[in-house]
Amino acid sequence: MNAPFVLIGDLMIDITAVTSGPVNYASDTRAQISVHPGGASANTATWLAHLGESVHLIGALGTDAFATMFRQSFENTGVHLHATEVTDAPTGTCIVIVDSTGERTMLPDPGANSFLTQSKISDSLFCAGSHLHLSGYTLLNPATRAVGQIALARARAGNLTCSLDTASAAPISANPGAIREALGQIDVLLANTDEAAALTGFGDPAQALAALAEVVDTVVIKCGPQGALAAQGNQHVKVPALPTKVVDTTGAGDAFTAGFLVSWRAGAPLTEAVMAGGREATQAISRVGAGPKAL
């Protein structure tokens, strides 16, 4: 088995509401409600384990019922969970509203995630040959930014390869420097079109890709139903999306990241790695919830 993937990021409980139609503001809208473990890095971790990888996930949980639910849900995933227990804050929670097109809108409360410390970043995990994947949320949250920066520095000192998912367009727009400062320390950057635009100022994904590729060796921009663009060195590729019925887009990018990183780490050609990411994303959007199976 390959040396492990080490992931750092938010551990959340997703409360998902799939609506039957447009939300009736200040009134009632019928919906199907379900509860799932979530958080960008947690989602990617479960997809990596599903693909047979050795995975360690570093984060923070409260000491409440949601923390118990999260831990129990992860018991049989194959993910090694390294979660700091936080007594002064609840487990992170996200309200996910999924509309009739499958598009999701999220209302996150990071809770205990804002109390993440570097205590779980151990030398035993950050060993040569391992790969660090960092969620952009860790850098975008002022309370945890230093932890993300320490993790990247520790990974570089240990000769780990590193990847970063940019996380979310709105907080990037508020502070693009939080992500830009990390670009010189990573090998792979993954973003969607809105995140790439917020980071570079270019609304055209091809222009954004070119700008980011000047700083990061391998860049992937996920373009939803239009597929994905990617650059590696002087090579630029465009890969179409696989046709599928969209039920819930929550976690599609996280699943893509897992599929891409496994293939990229194995030395696959860029197009093949992007296709591998697309296959996992297609599975993710075909049902409610962000993980590879009902947890």
Q: What is the pLDDT of residues 64-95, one digit of tens each?
A: 999 999 999 998 899 999 999 999 999 999 99
pLDDT at 122: 85
DSSP type of residue 240:
P
Residue 204 makes CB contacts below 8 A (sequence gap 6+) with none
Residues 256 and 281: beta-carbon distance below 8 Å: yes
- What would the two tokens of residue 262 be? 């496994």
The distance in angstroms from the start CA to the end CA of the chain is 24
Asked if 39 and 13 count as a contact pair (C-beta separation under 8 A), the reply is: no
Alpha-helix runs per DSSP H in 82-144: 136-140
Q: Who's near 93: CB < 8 A, 6+ residues apart?
A: 12, 13, 14, 15, 66, 108, 109, 111
Phi, then psi, of 75 in degrees rounded to 5: -60, -35
CB 162 within 8 A of CB 156: yes
pLDDT tens digits for range 200-231: 999 999 999 999 999 999 999 999 889 999 99
Please tell me whether the overall predicted TM-score, pTM, comes out greater than 0.85 for this model. yes
Whether pLDDT at 133 is above 70: yes
Q: Given phi > 0 = left and psi -120 to 50 = alpha, else beta, which region is 159?
A: left
Question: Has residue 41 got a pLDDT over 70?
Answer: yes
